[in-house]
Structure 1
Amino acid sequence: MSTENRSIDNKNRILIRWPIIILLALMILAWMAFYLFGEKRIVRYTSFGIDLPVNYSMHGIDISHYQSDIDWEEVKQMQIDNIKIGFCFIKATEGIERTDDRFETNWGKAKANNIPRGAYHFFDSENDGVEQARNFIENVQLAKGDLPPVLDVEQLNGVSIADLQRRVSDWLKMVEIHYKVKPIIYTGADFYKRCLADKFSDYPLWVAHYLVKDKPRIERSWLFWQHNDAGHVNGIDAYVDFNVFNGDSAAFKQLLLK
């Protein structure tokens, strides 16, 4: 090949490479712009001690006697940027006869501080669903502005899936008849898939699924998502579970008891 031909060939190669280089540079710039200025799904909030999914407008917590004494005024007043505690689920009962020894206090003080509240029952899969529903009903008086009742079911304890589903169904039906509202089911994403799926799809779901960024990995629709169990809130000297509501404030108000 002549010197002249080699020079032309080199120029052609350079001309071919430049568009590729420019395209790669534009792709890198686009990625950097999205990373720096694009919509962020997760933001670290030092005051809360955790990453929060900021694409949701309603954030809340759930508590029980494990959080001990709570200063509800401090809970109400805490706000970082536009993030505040917009609702709280409170453990009320467990099994056929147990009540949470902090329920009455927490229930009353949440109401006094205008924090929308919900009560939940921790389900004992080894015991009768009707008897457990009776325990909840006898101890929980729901009022206008409260969230629907919640059944926390997350353990088999050696019981067959068929027996668990029958007992869960008995609890849900009895509670729905009493309060005239469909209860919410709380459970883990994996437990729901293994033990509850296809049987309770018409009930609202509050799903627990950690270590995911923007939403829980579950095929069905969900109402609440518990995304972290190690948050911090002013007025509470213990780790707290954090949740988001899958909707805006208008949808949340529609959920509250009338």
Structure 2
Amino acid sequence: MKKRVQPIYSDKSQDIKKHRNILIFIAITILMISLLTGVILRKIQSAGRPNEIQYPILGVMLDQSDGYQDFVALQNHKVKFVYIKATQGANFSDDFLESNTSRIKGTQLQYGFFHVVSFDTTAKEQFENITKTLVMQRGTLPFVLKVSSYGKYEQEGIPKKKAIKIVDTLKTDIKNYYGDNCIIQLDDSSKKLSSYFSRIWYVSESKPQRDNWLIWQYNNSTSIPGYAGEKSYRLSVLNGNVDSLNSLVQTNE
């Protein structure tokens, strides 16, 4: 009986199959690690973001300290609205106002302007600064008046009566000039004014307790969920859905 001859290529074929299986295993392992890393990264980036199902509309607030912005990238990462700083007090205007405004118009983002209220100058002087800076320029969203302590008022507290009078006068002047029903942004230093206004943007780490909040800024410096950029943002959510956002949109007619 003849001895069966083993083909000379048999061992090589087995080695090739073995190496191929190892490579497949390595590729699958790398893929699984990449997917897991992506999930973990998204979890980290989304930390602190209010429930996306309940509050799907994400927004950011920008000033010159935030530098150049890629608004298309913001839009692609589910940002729906942006507020751009226009002015502060009686004399300051934001260096990035013109650049931010011209470039955001090339996107589908809704946007508006905000003014930082001063307690050391009159409402008339501040309104003149707003109109001198913006002229008749109007955002697609209502104007915001940001009320917060600064300088000596961080220790003394905000002068309540004076602040209310300035904000009320500015609200009226802006309504008459631009047609905007202003939103008032309040933080921990100014929340004592909340009972005097109806359209409020709260700045707070915890969910606002009052029912009259329109927007909630939940973080002063964090990354946008899913956005791998190095920039940090002041992130907010709208109290509502896309219909709620659309109801705020104003025309320039």
TM surpasses 0.5: yes
Counterpart position of 2:234 = 241
Question: Does residue 154 of structure 1 match 2:154?
Answer: no
1:201 pairs with one of 197, 201, 204: 197
Q: Which residue of structure 2 aligns with residue 133 of structure 1?
A: 127
Tell me if 1:66 matches 2:65.
yes
Which range moves more in the overlay, 43-52 or 172-181? Answer: 43-52
Q: Is the 8 A contact 2:215 2:237 kept in 1?
A: yes
Instruction: State the Cα distance separating 1:112 from its structure 2 match.
Output: 1.0
Question: Cα–Cα, structure 1 residues 127 and 111, in superposed 2: closer, same or farther, change >3 Å?
Answer: same
**Aligned residues of 1:187 and 1:207 also touching (Cα < 8 A):** yes
Distance 1:167 1:115, change over 3 A: same
1:109 corresponds to: 103
Aligned residues of 1:118 and 1:147 also touching (Cα < 8 A): yes
2:215 to 220, 224, 236: 224
Secondary structure of the 1:89 match is strand
TM-score (norm 1): 0.71
1:23-34 equivalence runs, <5 A: none
Gaps of 5+ in 2: 1-39
Query: Is 1:91 the equivalent of 2:85?
Result: yes
Contact 1:67 1:237 in 2 (8 A): no
The more displaced of 158-167 and 110-119 is 158-167
Give 2:162's aligned residue.
163
Q: Which residue identity lines up with residue 153 of structure 1 in the other structure?
A: V
- State the alpha-carbon separation in 1 of the partners of residues 220 and 172 from structure 2: 30
Q: Structure 1, unaligned stretches of length 5 or more?
A: 1-42, 79-83
* 2:50 aligned residue: 53
Equivalent residue of 2:115, what SS?
strand
User: 1:8-23 alignment to 2 at 5 Å?
Assistant: none
**Identity across aligned pairs (percent)?**
22
Deviation at 1:208, TM superposition (A): 0.5
1:79-110 CA-partner distances (Å, limit 9, x unpaired) = xxxxx101111111111111000011111211
**In 1: Cα distance, 2:113 partner to 2:99 partner:** 13
What SS does structure 1 have at the residue aligned with 2:45?
coil
Q: Which deviations, in whole Å up to 9, do the C-alpha atoms of 1:166-200 show, x marking residues without a partner?
A: 1222111111111112101011155222xx243x3
Amino acid at match of 2:141: L
Task: Indicate how the Cα distance of structure 1 residues 99 and 237 shifts in structure 2: closer, same or farther if over 3 A, else same.
Answer: farther
Larger radius of gyration: 2
Give the secondary-structure state (helix, strand or coil) at the position aligned to 1:50: coil
Matched length: 202
In structure 1, what residue type is equivalent to 2:240?
A: G
Hey, what's the Cα distance between the residues in 1 that align with 2:211 and 2:188? 10
